[in-house]
Amino acid sequence: MKYFLLILVFIGGMTSLALEMCASRLLGAYFGTSLYIWAALIGLILIYLTVGYFLGGRLADRYPSERFLCVVTAIAALTTSLIPFVSPAILSWSVTAMEQISVSAFLSSLLGTILLFAIPVTLLGLVSPFALRLATKDIARTGRISGSLYAISTFGSILGSFLPVLWLIPTFGVRRTLLIFGVLLFAASLWGLRPLWRPAFAISLILLVLPLGPLKNIPYLKYEQESLYNYIQVTQLPDGTRQLILNEGQAIHSIYYPNQNRILTGWYWDYFLAAPYFNKGFTPQQLHRVGIIGLAGGTIAHQFTQVYGPVAIDGVEIDPAIVEAGRKYFGMTEPNLHVYSQDGRAFLATTHEKYDLVAIDAFEQPYIPFQLTTQEFFTQIREHLSANGVVVLNTAHTTTDFRLVQAFVNTMSTVFPSVYTFNVPGTFNTEIMATMQPTSIETLRANLTQLPADTVMGKVANEVLPVVEQGHANGGLVFTDDRAPIEQITDQLLLDYIEHP
């Protein structure tokens, strides 16, 4: 009995942390990832465990039997095994509640976490105090026994944090990973159960091999993959157009047209092409190297290659699985494109290249990673720009709320002499461009109006010139590595959009 109990404590600790890691991926596919989502998840998991510890101590004193503990863990295993099958409906309902009741992603994720994980995690909280009560026969050895049990549980938790992230989720997917831990926990409970529980264990084994379908049901889904960083989805529309969608799916990160001669998308990516024209007398031959932070499926790289020729492009994308999808489904095979699978800040810290243009289009939807928004980050960018270099960033606003845009203008104005904004018509996107040299809208207009109207850049000029504005710092918020409340502002924008679409 002693060794079976230790195994159960170990598997229980492993499953409790595995549930937390899997929960983050399930929530990320619907609400994105941010400090707020992690706070909701970790806070609620701790609440469930606290309740479990409290109840476990009381129940252990009242019903100190191995059978009772194994029934508890078997129920936890069954409820864990049900999560993969009920999570799409519950999380979709939570998203609908966010839209209809006008609550934030933070509160909606709270709701989803409560409904999915309250029962199994609370029951797992019962295991350690219950096991301590069962294992303690001599009060003089209580300290040694409790230390050993908690060490075993914690060691299981360590494995429960690494196994899903490094192997199980990328290999089998998040829902299959939950089923695996459900089966393991049930198997560890069998020693204390009556034979009538064996059919339930057989059911859990059957659930393990049942087809699950996609993590989310979206139209025209062609490909999906759960990577270390994202839930990746590729859709293909009836006309053959492909779109890259990540996580909760509220934005398109790349687009691919069957007609490879089609360059312009009608989206904000087109605006990036105009950035070098802020420099007086600019010609395409003066663009020698481009850096892209947030390469995704390579839409920007494809556009610059088509318009400017085989200019050297360094594309930085943190997720290797997105790079793989870009090459397979988005034609990201340009020989002039050099791909680096790492974080944008880490790349800038290690490269010695100078760029005539740096384009930043990185999102952990709906949030821009905070480390790519700060004064220190733009100072790094400045150090890697040529004398006439330009940096362009994509961000967002609502109909009435431009706080995020203004914060970026304030931040970039501390590093660059000239900053400009472009509110893309018909969207909530704002392009912000900043130049190494003092420049002007007049120079941009003079350069672009010389281009024939029927050319690609002539069409871009027709898009950008009516909406370009000088950006002015207002003495307000400046993002720094120490303080960059990007998630808070973005959540407020989302609420504002829900209330005033």
- The residues annotated with a catalytic role in the active site are 361
Q: How far apart are the first and last CA of the chain?
A: 61
Query: How many other C-beta atoms are found inside a 10 Å radius of the C-beta of residue 218?
Result: 12
Beta bridge partners of 231: 226
How distant is the alpha carbon of residue 394 from its chain centre?
Answer: 17
Could you tell me where the beta strands, DSSP code E, fall in 294-446? Answer: 312-316, 337-340, 355-360, 385-396, 418-423, 429-435
Query: How many other C-beta atoms are found inside a 10 Å radius of the C-beta of residue 242?
Result: 21
Report the alpha-carbon angle 373-378-379, nearest 5.
140
Pairwise CA distance, residues 155 & 9, whole Å: 10
DSSP state for residue 139 in the 8-state scheme: G
**Sign of CA pseudo-dihedral 449, 450, 455, 457:** negative
Q: What are phi and psi of 112, to 5 degrees?
A: -65, -40
Q: What are phi and psi of 136, to 5 degrees?
A: -85, 110
Pairwise CA distance, residues 314 & 310, whole Å: 12
* Rg from Cα positions in the chain: 27
Pairwise CA distance, residues 335 & 305, whole Å: 10
Report the alpha-carbon angle 200-201-207, nearest 5.
90
Alpha helices in 330-473 (DSSP H): 344-350, 375-383, 403-413, 441-448, 456-464
Here the contacts of 422-427 (C-beta below 8 Å, separation 24 or greater) are 422/271, 422/464, 422/467, 422/468, 422/469, 423/397, 423/467, 423/469, 424/267, 424/268, 424/271, 424/467, 425/467, 427/267, 427/268
313: left (phi over 0), alpha (psi -120 to 50) or beta: beta
